[in-house]
């Protein structure tokens, strides 16, 4: 079946370093992907999205890379800050209706 | 605040009771989605509406679950005869007609004792 998964369940980084969170997806027909950030007790917060006609998209301190050949997504966070500590999910939206999420990666930022 | 809102934020109920949750989407959004999230997992899709029409329901949505969006604005999710396995965070999201950029509310945490 369709699934979106993550390579690393927990990522620990030092404040100021760059973070890279990876994600694999299985539906080769998917053409729209989103990264969400979820803090404890809160709903997922939209970070950045990318469509399959792009391989890179940049936001404020974040970059999403899409490799359709190997069905892989990554989220890069520059100059990671303590406020970036959260669980990060990639989600697939193959038909532009329901989102298909993976289990998430916890990012822990240490001073 | 013009984001998605959900009420109540927390609900504790005894097994067998009925519960109802409410979601108010971003005002200009025509689509409204319900998801369920258990600890350590990503959200799982339950159902979605385009205006007042319920367009898709997941197999997760058993016959004890019903969702409505009668006027195409707010939505309610009712769970009848709650079971301990229903304990989860129930999330609502909304989007425009394209279905992209779904924005989530804070969720309703349900605990069934």
Chain B residues within 8 A of A102 when measuring between CB atoms: 42
B91 contact residues in A (CB cutoff 8 A): 43-44
pLDDT tens digit sequence for A53-109: 999 999 999 999 999 999 999 999 999 999 999 999 999 988 888 999 977 999 999
pLDDT above 50 for A5: no
Q: How many CB atoms lie within 10 A of CB B46?
A: 22
Paired residues of B77 in beta bridges: B21, B67
- Are the beta carbons of A43 and B104 separated by less than 8 Å? yes
Considering chain B, what is the average pLDDT of its residues? 95
- The string of pLDDT tens digits covering residues B84-101 is 999 999 999 999 988 888
- According to the model, what pLDDT value does residue B98 have? 84
Nearest by CB to residue B56, choosing from A98, A101, A103, is A98
Nearest CA in chain A to B46: A98
Chain B positions touching A48 (Cβ under 8 A) are none
Say how far apart CA B87 and CA A67 lie, in whole Å: 37
Q: Residue holding tokens 């605040």?
A: B1
Model pLDDT for residues A12-49, shown as the tens digit of each residue = 999 999 999 999 988 888 889 999 999 988 999 999 99
- Please indicate whether residue B39 or residue A85 has the higher confidence score (pLDDT): A85
CB contact under 8 A, A93 and B106: no
Contact A101 B42 (CB under 8 A): yes
* pLDDT tens profile A62-72: 999 999 999 99
Q: Classify burial at A80, counting beta carbons within 10 Å of its beta carbon; exposed 0-12, middle 13-18, buried 19 or more.
A: buried
| Residue B60: band (very low, low, confident or very high) from pLDDT cuts 50, 70, 90 | confident
Distance CA B36, CA B91 (A): 6
**Helix locations, B9-75, DSSP H:** none
Model confidence over B76-86: pLDDT tens digits? 999 999 999 99
| Alpha carbons A105 and A9: distance in angstroms, whole number | 5
| Number of neighbouring beta carbons within 10 Å of residue A3 | 13
């Amino acid at each position: 079946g369709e699934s979106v998964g993550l390579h690393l369940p927990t990522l620990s980084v030092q404040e100021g370093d760059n973070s890279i969170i990876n994600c694999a997806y299985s539906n080769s027909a998917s053409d729209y992907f989103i990264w969400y950030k979820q803090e404890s007790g809160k709903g997922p917060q939209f970070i950045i999205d990318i469509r399959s006609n792009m391989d890179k998209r940049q936001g404020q301190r974040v970059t999403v890379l899409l490799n359709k050949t190997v069905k892989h997504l990554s989220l890069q966070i520059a100059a990671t800050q303590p406020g970036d500590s959260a669980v990060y999910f990639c989600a697939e939206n193959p038909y532009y209706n329901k989102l298909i999420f993976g289990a998430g990666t916890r990012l822990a930022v240490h001073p | 605040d013009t984001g998605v809102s959900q009420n109540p934020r927390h609900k504790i109920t005894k097994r067998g009771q009925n519960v109802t949750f409410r979601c108010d989407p971003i005002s200009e959004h025509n689509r409204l989605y319900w998801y369920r999230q258990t600890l350590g997992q990503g959200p799982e899709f339950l159902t979605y509406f385009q205006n007042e029409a319920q367009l898709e329901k997941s197999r997760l949505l058993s016959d004890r679950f019903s969702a409505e969006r009668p006027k195409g604005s707010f939505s309610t999710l009712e769970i009848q005869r709650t079971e301990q396995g229903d304990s989860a965070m129930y999330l609502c999201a909304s989007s425009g007609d394209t279905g992209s950029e779904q924005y989530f509310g804070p969720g309703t945490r349900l605990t069934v004792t």
